[in-house]
A and B are shown apart, each in its own frame.
Chain A
């Protein structure tokens, strides 16, 4: 009587090997991807303002969420994540994507050198420009980075769909996360492949970021090419069933 019950409870409440997201388990499918955390563990939320909010300002829903969170076990915060004001999730994601072989130190130093190069170039331009144009020159490297990536994001993508033995490129809407990923991926691939052997990554990346910020350059061109292909294949849109 007690044995299967105890086993089930142990599975639920311990920190031992467990299958993630039990809620998404479908009857015919076996879970292949597993994690060291059990299914009930929630992701940590690192935001000082959220916790410092006084109780009076919270809505009913927020109060309920807070009460609920007290009963749920929380995973450990990842090592690249802090409550520091200098931390940017987009930059962290970009650093991870640039990283090769687990060399986070190198990737992060390349990123800082890139941002420094961007800032230097903008400051040179600033000092060289007349006073009317000085207001238009953006010098904050973080805003330039964000805007450049936003300019590189495609709006619509293509998916290969098998119909009648042939693969057709069908225009398909992309989710936000997929768009951001594609923008970053294109930027990194472009910088790695299309550069002179002697040119260093920060130099090339800063150049590409500035060009993308002004909606020019190869990455934005690639985005436009994708849009044109999608427009050309507009007739195949009805092949999509989702």
Chain B
């Protein structure tokens, strides 16, 4: 055992897996991991041969598909199903030994307990001080000029706490993480000099959130251009067909909307997408709806109509609809009743004795 530990000195520093507490005592040596990687690669090639595919271009997704095909599992818990992944993703990574043979630690901040985190904070603060010193020097000489800060704050986000923990070696607390984010923001504000350093701690974000809903293209039938889409709300499902040219008539399940929705609030919901786009009397709608109650059906039709209207409208207006909340499917459903309680939230009457 001691020989193995000494050999671990030169392994690259990696993170420990949080959940795997039982395996913490087990140390995986470099040789063991290497052997596992070799076995994995050989197994990958065998699997590719079995599936009749090219072993050279066999990706992880192909492996997953092959395993799911060869070992079909009816287990509900996805993590209990058979998997075949690279050993780096399976074996919890170990922290290297941070001290030499004489027991003296290598890093000067070892005794803080979180050496990488504190050294990172120290470096960042050092950079801030350098930038300020530089600024003061320029101001003293009179050469200081307000430079344009090219900060792309919108297309990217800071690392989340888990990602930071992964990047550094050790566990962080919430306050550590918040302090880190504050320091980074201060560094960003003080100047655009350390762009690369800061960008290494940012990840890009899906720039346009509207990329998710895909509008179906118009279809022609009997010369009339129309668009179909579906909408859901609670347990109501609706399918709406919106015609491009019409006079504002709406038919629900073959019945006129005035008779199908006697309540004003539901009719307002039907009118909402049209009124928002100033297209009140310009479209005809035929829709079918089933399930749910009256308000849920109205909400489902509203969503279906809004999605169908996307195909007749500019991209900008689609973004406006999205920001007005017309294109989001409402995820709220009825909460289940729990045992030991009278309802979802209501508890039984508390009796002192």
How far apart are the CA atoms of A208 and B101 in the complex, in Å? 87
A45 close to B263 (CB less than 8 A): no
Residues of A within 8 A of B328 (CB): 44, 73-77
Q: Given A1-B166, A45-B323 in contact, is the A84-B268 Cβ separation under 8 Å?
A: yes
A71 close to B209 (CB less than 8 A): yes
Contact flags A62-81 to B (C-beta < 8 A → 1, else 0)? 00100111111111110110
With A1-B88, A70-B154 given, can you name 15 additional A-B contacts, CB distance below 8 Å?
A1-B89, A4-B19, A9-B160, A27-B174, A36-B332, A46-B324, A48-B276, A51-B324, A67-B154, A68-B153, A70-B209, A71-B206, A82-B269, A83-B276, A84-B271
B331 close to A37 (CB less than 8 A): yes
- Would you call A108 an interface residue if the criterion is a C-beta within 8 Å of the partner chain's C-beta atoms? yes
Residues of A within 8 A of B18 (CB): 4
* Cross-chain contact of A104 among B166, B265, B332 (Cβ < 8 A): B265
Q: Given A1-B15, A48-B276 in contact, is the A36-B333 Cβ separation under 8 Å?
A: yes
- Which of A1, A12, A48 has the most CB atoms of chain B within a 10 A radius of its CB? A1
A74 close to B331 (CB less than 8 A): no
How far apart are the CA atoms of A48 and B330 in the complex, in Å? 21
Residues of A within 8 A of B269 (CB): 79, 82
Contact flags B190-226 to A (C-beta < 8 A → 1, else 0)? 0000000000000001111110000000000000000
- The smallest beta-carbon distance between B192 and chain A, in angstroms, is 17
- Would you call B295 an interface residue if the criterion is a C-beta within 8 Å of the partner chain's C-beta atoms? yes
**Chain A minimum-CB-distance residue to B204:** A71
Q: Given A1-B89, A5-B166, A51-B323 in contact, is the A108-B265 Cβ separation under 8 Å?
A: yes
- Would you call A105 an interface residue if the criterion is a C-beta within 8 Å of the partner chain's C-beta atoms? yes
The 6 closest A-B pairs by CB, nearest first: A44-B325, A77-B325, A76-B330, A8-B162, A76-B328, A36-B331
- Would you call B46 an interface residue if the criterion is a C-beta within 8 Å of the partner chain's C-beta atoms? no
* Cross-chain contact of A108 among B264, B272, B331 (Cβ < 8 A): B264
- The smallest beta-carbon distance between A74 and chain B, in angstroms, is 5
* Cross-chain contact of B331 among A3, A5, A15, A82 (Cβ < 8 A): A15
- Would you call B322 an interface residue if the criterion is a C-beta within 8 Å of the partner chain's C-beta atoms? yes
- Would you call B256 an interface residue if the criterion is a C-beta within 8 Å of the partner chain's C-beta atoms? no
Contact flags A34-72 to B (C-beta < 8 A → 1, else 0)? 001100000111101001000000000000100111111
A79 close to B265 (CB less than 8 A): yes
- Which of B162, B208, B298 has the most CB atoms of chain A within a 10 A radius of its CB? B162
How far apart are the CA atoms of A111 and B300 in the complex, in Å? 27
How far apart are the CA atoms of A117 and B35 in the complex, in Å? 86
**Chain A minimum-CB-distance residue to B321:** A51
- Chain B positions near chain A (C-beta within 8 angstroms): 14-15, 17-19, 88-89, 93, 153-155, 160-163, 166, 173-175, 205-210, 263-265, 268-269, 271-272, 275-276, 278, 295, 298-299, 303, 319-320, 322-326, 328-333
Residues of A within 8 A of B263 (CB): 105
Q: Given A1-B88, A80-B265 in contact, is the A71-B325 Cβ separation under 8 Å?
A: no
**Chain B minimum-CB-distance residue to A104:** B265
Q: Given A36-B331, A67-B154, A80-B265 in contact, is the A46-B163 Cβ separation under 8 Å?
A: no
- The smallest beta-carbon distance between B248 and chain A, in angstroms, is 15
Residues of B within 8 A of A43 (CB): 325
- Would you call A25 an interface residue if the criterion is a C-beta within 8 Å of the partner chain's C-beta atoms? yes
B162 close to A71 (CB less than 8 A): no
- Would you call A128 an interface residue if the criterion is a C-beta within 8 Å of the partner chain's C-beta atoms? no
How far apart are the CA atoms of A105 and B264 in the complex, in Å? 9
- Would you call A2 an interface residue if the criterion is a C-beta within 8 Å of the partner chain's C-beta atoms? yes
Per the CB 8 Å criterion, the residue count for chain A at the interface is 40
A–B Cβ pairs within 8 angstroms, 26 of them: A1-B89, A2-B89, A4-B17, A4-B166, A7-B162, A8-B162, A9-B160, A27-B175, A45-B323, A68-B153, A71-B154, A71-B206, A71-B207, A74-B323, A74-B324, A74-B325, A75-B325, A75-B328, A76-B326, A79-B269, A82-B275, A83-B272, A83-B276, A84-B268, A84-B275, A104-B265
Residues of B within 8 A of A69 (CB): 323
- The smallest beta-carbon distance between B14 and chain A, in angstroms, is 8
Residues of B within 8 A of A7 (CB): 162
A68 close to B154 (CB less than 8 A): yes
**Chain A minimum-CB-distance residue to B14:** A1
- Which of B322, B328, B329, B331 has the most CB atoms of chain A within a 10 A radius of its CB? B331
* Cross-chain contact of A79 among B161, B163, B278, B299 (Cβ < 8 A): B299
- The smallest beta-carbon distance between B212 and chain A, in angstroms, is 8
* Cross-chain contact of B17 among A3, A36, A75 (Cβ < 8 A): A3
A8 close to B15 (CB less than 8 A): no
Residues of A within 8 A of B89 (CB): 1-3
